[in-house]
Amino acid sequence: MEMKNLEKAMDIYAKLITGEDVSRSGANGSLYDDYYGNAEVYEIVGVILKKLNLSIYEYKESLFLSAGEGNRIFGYTNEELKKNIGVRYNRELYLCYFIMYEILLSFYSDSASYQFKEYIKLENVMEEVTKALSVFTKDIAIYDLEEEKQESFRTVALLWDELPASTTEEQEDIRASRASKASFVKLTFNFLIGENLFVEVNKRYYPTERFQAVVEHYFEEYRGQIYDALSNEDKG
């Protein structure tokens, strides 16, 4: 192993982990070229990321990092996610998970049907979440309170069903909170914006290249895990 190749590999890792752009046309273009043009650099980066449980994705000649499943250092625990998103209970967090899932489905269904939407609106997400969860609320009268407390799709559906579409104060300006369906979607989008996955312009949410990189390479592999999370029986 040549020391200069190790240094290049560490430079690539350092730039990516601190959120800097590594793309062919950017300021770190030489590092992008080193990654794809130098086999030893490529291999070293791969070893480093594997040991740290990180995944690297390429999209439009740019590199992106994503934490692997269960990554406690670079990922989030449920408690950390609740704090970062702004919710208190597991059932609220799982509702945000489901909202994220529906946002992903708005752009991507499977590996053969990527949808090149330019943007999505908050009300579009609300409609899709309501449609997807409606199957769990059709027989809402038969659910008892003990059953409602379980962290499951049914609990998420019941929570969503109980929320008003929006509050009186929100009719003109939707605020991120736990007060309504619209505000829960806003909470979720705010988190995704903070993760550099979306940008908001005039109440329209545009996916970033980071989002598209993660969706195309990551979503198909892990999409089913939201069902496992939402079927968790822990109380919260």
Spatial distance between the Cα atoms of 196 and 199, rounded to a whole number of angstroms: 7
Beta bridge partners of 65: 56
Nearest to 91 by CA among 170, 26, 154, 163: 154
Spatial distance between the Cα atoms of 50 and 54, rounded to a whole number of angstroms: 6
pTM of the model: 0.74
* Token code pair at residue 201: 């312009």
Nearest to 65 by CA among 108, 35, 33: 35
Q: Is the per-residue pLDDT at 139 higher than 80?
A: no
| Mean pLDDT within 41-66 | 90
Q: Is the per-residue pLDDT at 67 higher than 50?
A: yes
Question: In this structure, what are the phi and psi dihedrals at residue 58, rounded to the nearest 5 degrees?
Answer: -120, 135
Where are the alpha helices (H) located in the chain, listed in sequence order?
3-17, 29-37, 39-51, 78-85, 90-107, 122-133, 145-148, 153-162, 181-194, 209-214, 220-222, 225-230
* Token code pair at residue 120: 């999505």
Q: What is the CA radius of gyration of the chain?
A: 20
Question: Could you tell me the residue ranges of all domains in the chain?
Answer: 3-67, 78-230
3-state secondary structure of 199: strand
Q: Does 140 or 206 have the greater pLDDT score?
A: 206
Share of the chain above pLDDT 90, in %: 34
